[in-house]
Amino acid sequence: MIDPDALPLPAPLEYAVPAGACDAHTHVFAAPEDFAPVQPAAYPLPVAPISRHRQVAQQLGIDRAVLVQPAAYGANHSVMLQALHAYPATLRGVALCDRDATDGALDHLHDAGIRALRFVEMRVPGSSQRYPGSIDVAALEHLAPRMAQRGWHAEIWADVSTNAAIVRRFSRCGVPLVLDHLAGATIAEDPDSEDFRTILDALETGVAWAKLSICRVGHRRTEYPLARPFHDALVAANPDRVVWGSDFPFLRKGEEAPDCGWLLNTFRDWVGDDARVRRILVDNSATLYSF
């Protein structure tokens, strides 16, 4: 267990974040005595309650945020739903539901502020094992019609080659595809590869979105700047189809966890243009998550 007080507040920002800015990729975790995972987790769980989440956001000047359901909690959304209930105007959620979810359950989630379902094709590092509690992308084929009825999108965590295959397969599934963690790019990838070009084409045509979250591009913080070619290419492909996310509280990163303030400063430096920064932080997230 990681004490929430051990999660430091972000460094000061070097610019004024525009009103209505959104961190589009975060998580909340309760203390284990208050809410245990539905199955043994594949990683140490932090204690990152909504109170600490809000402290970090306020330090950054971030008004809105998106909570992504941790795989360790499976389809039990109690912790996230409590947070959404406490801040209905400024929080939205991404849920985990399998193909057997009832319409009543989906309606309940929608009313609470859920605007997407997440599908995971990544594996636990060093193994071929899926993250316990995660939902694979095959379920999207069955869920897409009901997601479309509710105006939801599909959030997908996969590597670049898998994302390219998913884009080809699901481009006409009726829901937007939102590709997590810099569309799966790592510093070991080639920004000129055919698979990454497929992803860029999907952004250009509006089929897909990408989250500009760089904390999974390498093992060490010093490696993050090497991901700039991917970041720049995604923004250039379609600045109306990208959102920014920190990934707080940085699961599995340990001492290599980045500082949220540094991440936001780096995003501003790389994008460069204030109008485009506002579009990504405010307008795009408002469109995607119905703020």
Domain count, the chain: 1
The verdict on residue 8 lying in a domain is no
Span 113-166, pLDDT tens digits: 999 999 999 998 888 888 889 999 999 999 999 999 999 999 999 999 999 999
C-alpha to C-alpha distances, 214 to 142, 251, 260, nearest whole angstrom: 31, 13, 11
Task: Provide the 8-state DSSP code for 6.
Answer: G
Query: Does the pLDDT at position 13 exceed 70?
Result: yes
Band (pLDDT 50/70/90 cuts) for residue 41 is confident
- pLDDT confidence of residue 3: 53
Strand partners, 130: 123
H-only helix segments in 216-284 = 228-237, 260-271, 274-278
Nearest-angstrom CA–CA distance, 7 and 196: 34
Span 69-103, pLDDT tens digits: 999 999 999 999 999 999 999 999 999 999 999 99
SS3 readout for 153-165: EEEEECCHHHHHH
- pLDDT confidence of residue 6: 57
As a whole number, the mean pLDDT across the chain is 94
Domain range enclosing 209: 18-289
- pLDDT confidence of residue 7: 61
Span 163-218, pLDDT tens digits: 999 999 999 999 999 999 999 999 999 999 999 999 999 999 999 999 999 999 99
Exposed, middle or buried, 34 (CB in 10 Å: 0-12/13-18/19+)? exposed
Cβ neighbors of 172 (< 8 A, separation 6 or more) are none
Q: What is the mean pLDDT of residues 58-71?
A: 96
The verdict on residue 7 lying in a domain is no
The CATH number of residue 31's host domain is 3.20.20.140
Query: Using a CB cutoff of 8 Å and minimum separation of 24, what contacts does 145-150 make?
Result: 145/174, 146/103, 146/106, 147/116, 147/117, 147/174, 147/175, 148/174, 148/175, 150/106, 150/107, 150/110
The verdict on residue 87 lying in a domain is yes
Nearest to 251 by CA among 183, 181, 202: 181
The verdict on residue 2 lying in a domain is no
The verdict on residue 11 lying in a domain is no
DSSP per residue over 100-149, as a string?
Answer: T--HHHHHHHHHHTEEEEEEE--B-TTSSPBPTT---GGGHHHHHHHHHH
The verdict on residue 77 lying in a domain is yes
Q: What is the mean pLDDT of residues 30-53?
A: 87
Judged by average pLDDT, the poorest of 36-40, 224-228, 247-251, 283-287 is 36-40
The letter for the amino acid at 111 is: D
The verdict on residue 100 lying in a domain is yes
The verdict on residue 9 lying in a domain is no
Query: Does the pLDDT at position 1 exceed 70?
Result: no
- pLDDT confidence of residue 39: 77
